[in-house]
């Protein structure tokens, strides 16, 4: 079959989805929720933590950002774990770690224990951020794979939104313990959901467990099990053994690795988490002066829009394809970031604390608000879900776990860098300069994606793998 052929075959096109796929959908949604809630909740919890313990600025930074470092380590370990013990077992490990971490955080008698809790939670989030989308990408029939992995992003955005709401509700006193402890609830739910699930047919096949693979396939594709197994079997002869790290970095797989890591990094260096973490401060600079005004703007203009616009990707990623969504989203992000930069030229500097004296946002403040809404919506239907989708579908089976691991760790590493240095950057080159830098990165991402990313919509994972092999052979021959 030519590598340019769209390989959604007729059988799959017609077959109804197996009921088990709902369970897979619930797993991926809950894993995303954990990720997002954790990402969003800390801003609100910090106010209470600062009141309970007398903490230094350094300790605050550690409490905030080490969860991301924990996640980076978790993501690196997760690939090996997912290849060895399976995708399902790796999700289970993540959920258990997360539950333990959340309970440690909630009961922490001092900052030392709290930091330990943050690291454990971070590790759990990191493992889940590799294992859960990988699980979904391997379980999903080709024609709905993008939609499945996009549910992960929907979970993330919903988690961030919930965290903003919880922050508003529980913002006083010692209730930060509850804010952090509450995240154990979806973690326990994840344990309950993953326990009755099975591992992916592809992972079973890699382990030489063909009977288990067939049983799993029957659950998710009851109407075309034979056809689906035949396609898996066709790629069986080619390569079954899971390769080690050297294979991940080998010449043969250079292109998928470059694409995975490139997309992961671009998702972060175009500014998303600077906006997610510092939205309150940005709105403060834009003239939303009281804490209540800022929180409302953040919850609805950022949090809710992020959730809703993700549904655009859920609806269109498998119809229009990955490339059009990514490219259109980057245009929206680039233009809106440029507008935020321009409006900041006539705004105040980003303040470190909210004030208590209300005044109406200026015209430039309104432009900033509208531009940020456009930015969030553009990210939410493009780089948010589509990057996770592509990362989880481009690696060949022999290195899939490790490849996804490397790309996801690159994502966490860049997230950490951006959130750590955003305020330093605005101090050095100004707010306008910082947003223009993010806009410039969006332009670079546009050109790069335009040139290197092949469309993967409608291609089975096995077909994508054959495409790389064919490309590597062609380039070796020339
Ligand atoms: C990113 C996160 C980000 C979130 C925002 C995800 O795809 O990986 O870093 O916070 O989207 O919705």
Top pLDDT among 204 and 5 is at: 204
Cα 189 to middle of ligand 1, angstroms:
22
- 10 pLDDT above the threshold of 60: no
Higher pLDDT, 346 or 438: 438
Distances (CA, A) of 219 to 83, 212, 295: 21, 11, 45
**Residue 323 lies inside a defined structural domain of this protein:** yes
Residue 9, domain member (yes or no): no
- Between 96 and 55, the more confident residue is 96
Per-residue pLDDT at 21 exceeds 60: yes
- CA atoms of 311 and 69, how far apart (whole Å): 30
**Residue from 156, 307, 382 whose mutation best tests the ligand 1 pocket (most atoms within 8 A of CB):** 156
Pocket test for ligand 1, best of 36, 161, 333 (most atoms within 8 A of CB): 36
How far, in Å, CA of 326 to CA of 456, rounded? Answer: 13
* Residue 221, in any domain of the structure: no
* Most confident of the ranges 41-55, 268-282, 337-351: 268-282
Provide the domain count of the chain.
1
In a domain, 437, yes or no: yes
The reported pTM is 0.89
Domain range spanning residue 120?
16-197+240-477
Token pair of 438 as six digits: 């993010």
Residue 367 has pLDDT above 60, yes or no: yes
pLDDT in tens, 287-336: 888 888 888 888 999 999 999 999 999 999 999 999 999 999 999 999 99
CA-to-CA distance for 67 and 226, rounded, in angstroms? 44
Q: What is the CA(125)–ligand 1 centre distance, in A? A: 13
Instruction: Kindly tell me if the per-residue pLDDT of 355 is higher than 60.
Output: no
Q: How far is the CA of 194 from the centre of ligand 1 (A)?
A: 23
Expressed in angstroms and rounded, the spacing between residue 32 Cα and the centre of ligand 1 is: 10
Residue 38 maps to a domain: yes
| Domain assignment of residue 234, yes or no | no
Q: What is the pLDDT of residue 173?
A: 60
Which pLDDT score, from 0 to 100, does residue 350 have?
58
Q: Which two tokens stand for residue 141?
A: 């029939």
Q: Lowest-pLDDT range, 29-38, 56-65, 107-116, 357-366?
A: 357-366
- Say what the pLDDT of residue 5 is: 39
Q: Does residue 227 carry a pLDDT above 90?
A: no
Side-chain-side CA neighbours of 35 within 13 Å: the count stands at: 30
Cα-to-centroid distance, 72 and ligand 1 (Å): 14
- Residue with CA nearest ligand 1 atom 10: 273
CA of 358 to the centre of ligand 1 (A): 31
Average pLDDT, the chain: 87
> Rounded to whole angstroms, how far apart are CA atoms 298 and 450?
32
The mean per-residue pLDDT over the stretch 429-449 comes to 96
CA dihedral (154, 155, 161, 166) in degrees, to 10, reads: 170
Mean pLDDT computed over 418-443 = 91
Q: Which residues contact 272 (CB under 8 A, 6 or more apart)?
A: 379, 383, 384
Ligand 1 interacting residues, C-beta cut-off 6 A: 39, 153, 156-157, 160, 267, 272-273, 276, 306, 384, 411, 415
For 460-474, what is each residue's pLDDT tens digit?
A: 998 999 999 888 888
Which residue owns the Cα nearest ligand 1 atom 5? 157
Closest among 257, 270, 186, 273 to 408, alpha carbons compared:
257
Evaluate if residue 358 carries a pLDDT over 60.
Answer: no
Nearest CA to ligand 1 atom 12: 157
In a domain, 344, yes or no: yes
CATH number for the domain spanning 46: value is 1.20.1250.20
Residue 217 lies in a domain: no
Nearest residue (CA) to ligand 1, atom 2: 273
Q: How many A from CA of 242 to the centre of ligand 1? A: 30
- Long-range contacts formed by 65-68: CB under 8 A, 24+ apart: 65/416, 65/419, 65/420, 66/115, 66/118, 66/119, 66/122, 67/38, 67/42, 67/118, 67/119, 67/121, 67/122, 67/125, 68/122, 68/412, 68/415, 68/416, 68/419
Ligand 1 atom nearest 268 alpha carbon: 9
Nearest CA to ligand 1 atom 3: 273
CA of 75 to the centre of ligand 1 (A): 15
Q: Work out the average pLDDT over 390-417.
A: 93
**CA 470 to ligand 1 center in whole angstroms:** 33
């Amino acid at each position: 079959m030519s590598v340019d052929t769209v390989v959604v075959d007729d059988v799959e096109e017609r077959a109804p989805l197996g009921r088990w796929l709902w369970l897979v959908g619930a797993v991926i949604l809950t894993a995303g929720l954990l990720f997002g809630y954790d990402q969003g909740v800390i801003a609100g919890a910090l106010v209470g933590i600062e009141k309970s313990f007398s903490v230094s600025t350094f300790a605050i930074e550690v409490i905030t950002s080490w969860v991301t470092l924990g996640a980076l380590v978790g993501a690196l370990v997760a690939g090996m774990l997912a290849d060895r013990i399976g995708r399902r077992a790796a999700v289970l490990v993540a959920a258990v770690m997360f539950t333990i971490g959340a309970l440690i955080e909630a009961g922490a008698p001092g900052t030392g224990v709290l930091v330990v809790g943050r690291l454990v939670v971070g590790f759990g989030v990191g493992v889940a951020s590799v294992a859960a989308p990988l699980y979904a990408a391997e379980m999903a029939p080709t024609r709905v794979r993008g939609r499945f992995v996009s549910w992960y992003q929907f979970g993330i955005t919903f988690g961030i939104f919930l965290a903003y709401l919880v922050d508003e509700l529980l913002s006083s006193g010692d209730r930060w313990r509850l804010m952090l402890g509450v995240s154990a609830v979806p973690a326990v739910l994840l344990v309950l959901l993953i326990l009755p699930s099975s591992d992916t047919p592809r992972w079973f096949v890699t382990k030489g467990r063909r009977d288990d693979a067939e049983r799993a396939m029957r659950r998710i594709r009851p109407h075309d099990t034979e056809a689906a197994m035949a396609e898996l079997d066709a790629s069986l002869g080619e390569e079954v053994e899971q390769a080690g790290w050297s294979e991940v970095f080998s010449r043969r797989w250079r292109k998928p690795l470059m694409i995975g890591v490139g997309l992961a990094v671009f998702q972060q260096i175009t500014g998303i988490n600077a906006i997610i973490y510092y939205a309150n401060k940005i709105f403060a600079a834009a003239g939303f002066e009281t804490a209540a005004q800022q929180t409302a703007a953040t919850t609805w203009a950022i949090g809710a829009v992020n959730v809703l616009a993700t549904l655009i990707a859920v609806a269109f990623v498998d119809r229009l394809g990955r490339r059009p969504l990514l490219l259109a989203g980057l245009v929206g992000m680039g233009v809106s970031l440029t507008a935020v930069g321009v409006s900041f030229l006539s705004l105040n500097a980003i303040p470190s604390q909210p004030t208590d004296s209300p005044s109406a946002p200026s015209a430039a403040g309104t432009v900033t608000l509208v531009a940020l809404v456009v930015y969030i919506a553009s990210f939410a239907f493009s780089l948010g879900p589509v990057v996770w989708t592509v990362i989880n579908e481009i690696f060949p089976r022999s290195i899939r776990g490790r490849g996804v691991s490397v790309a996801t760790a690159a994502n966490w590493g860049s997230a950490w860098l951006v959130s750590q240095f955003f305020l330093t950057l605005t101090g050095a080159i100004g707010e306008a300069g910082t947003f223009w830098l993010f806009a410039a990165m969006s332009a670079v991402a546009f050109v790069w994606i335009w040139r290197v990313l092949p469309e993967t919509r409608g291609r089975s994972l096995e077909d994508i793998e054959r495409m790389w092999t064919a490309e590597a052979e062609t380039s070796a021959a020339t």
